[in-house]
Amino acid sequence: MDWRERLRQMTSPAEEDESSIWHAIFVMTGNEQIVKDKIAYTFKDSNILPVVPKRRIHERKNGVWNEKIKPLFPGYILIKGYISTHDYYVLRNIPGILRVLRDEKEIYRIHPDEMRVISRLMINGELIGISNVFRKGDSVVITDGPLMGLEGLIQSIDYRKGRAKVCLSFLGDKRTVDLGIKLIAQAI
């Protein structure tokens, strides 16, 4: 038994709820929604649910501000639910899937602490909305939105672009992602 298996046994509850199990699948960037729809159709009668976390951000192009929706983790689809050996082979044969992430023995499970933060950001389904920010001197107070209560994850804020750089843990790595913010007012 290697150290990962021992750690999994020590930290996981005796009976694991299938709805709390999350896996990741690697697909070609830009095809996340197409492959997600194929997975959803293939597993429509099972407990497997594909999710593509998306973020709403503002972008400026040709002097005009537009609202864009982009994947939170480009190239990844999250799968909620237990994947059996049969489901794994069915999943591998779906067109567009490049790789089902695995460790040495089994399909890689996303750590529950990582999913807790990501799930909290996805309050309204898959879409991570724009958080309202109140600036008070050098500090920032989130008054509304998905970043409320997660101020400690914010690394920096670009008020001009309307984005916050947020450090998230995903698949055991630290990743910095841009999330949309809206400056409500600036306190004196």
**Distance between CA atoms of 114 and 146, rounded to whole angstroms?**
15
Region 126-140 average pLDDT: 80
The confidence score (pLDDT) of residue 4 equals: 52
Q: What is the spatial distance between Cα 43 and Cα 80, in angstroms, rounded to a whole number?
A: 12
* Angstrom distances, CA of residue 153 to CA of 27, 130, 134, 163: 27, 15, 16, 13
27 pLDDT above the threshold of 50? yes
pLDDT at 143: 80
pTM above 0.75, yes or no: yes
Is 53:33 a contact under the CB 8 Å cutoff? no
Mean per-residue pLDDT, 38-43: 92
- What sign results for the dihedral spanned by CA atoms 98, 100, 104, 105? negative
In the chain, what are the domains? Answer: 3-187 (3.30.70.940)
Q: What is the mean pLDDT of residues 31-53?
A: 91
Q: What pLDDT score does 36 carry?
A: 93
> What per-residue confidence (pLDDT) applies to 131?
85
pLDDT above 70 coverage of the chain, percent:
87
pLDDT, one tens digit per residue, over 52-82 is 999 888 888 888 888 888 999 999 999 999 8
What are the DSSP E strand ranges found in the chain? 22-27, 49-51, 54-61, 64-71, 76-80, 97-100, 127-128, 131-136, 139-144, 154-158, 163-170, 173-187
Average pLDDT, the chain: 82
Q: Are 128 and 72 in contact (CB under 8 A)?
A: yes
